[in-house]
Amino acid sequence: MKKKNFLKEISSAAANKDLNKDVLESLLLWFDKEDINAFYRLNAFYLADKLKVDRKELLSLLIELTGAGLFDINWDYHCPQCNGISETHNHLNTAKAEGHCKICNIDFRNILDRNIKITFTPSEKYITIPMDYITGKMNEI
């Protein structure tokens, strides 16, 4: 699906919802001007700061759009020692309580409000991020 159609789907999904319209407009403008590689693993707070919008408002919007099937959530498990991403899951039901960092060679316990962070990626139904870009990012983990 082309980026313009994805933007229409976002507008449609957000219509008639109790969401901040300025935040929606900022997000749509950002998506329109950015390369699709930039859509991979969006950190809601980082993006909110970049767009100069309220963090909670953008997070609410992305969660709403995820509920509408437009985005997938990535559950990223960070090593408590080096902060590198040791694992990533798309569903909590595949998550494990125990983690291991290959770089630090340590085992640790995954704790939701400590070392687990979420990012958002457009659903593959709408946007296809080039596999070579994803592979390059995964090799950074």
Q: Does 109 bind Zn ion (CB under 5 A)?
A: no
What minimum distance in Å lies between the beta carbon of 100 and Zn ion?
Answer: 9
Under rule CB under 5 A, how many of the chain's residues touch Zn ion? 7
Q: Does 141 bind Zn ion (CB under 5 A)?
A: no
**Dihedral, CA of residue 98, residue 113, residue 79 and residue 108, to nearest 10:** -30
Residue 139 burial (CB < 10 Å; 0-12/13-18/19+)?
Answer: exposed
Among 65, 79, 127, 129, binds Zn ion (CB under 5 A): 79
Residue with tokens 């960070």: 78
Q: Does 82 bind Zn ion (CB under 5 A)?
A: yes
Check if the beta carbon of residue 19 is closer than 8 Å to that of residue 61: yes
Closest-by-Cβ residue to Zn ion is: 79
Q: Does 101 bind Zn ion (CB under 5 A)?
A: yes
Among 5, 11, 37, 81, binds Zn ion (CB under 5 A): 81
The secondary structure element, H or E, covering residue 8 is helix 3-14
Site of interaction with Zn ion (CB under 5 A): 79, 81-82, 84, 101, 103-104
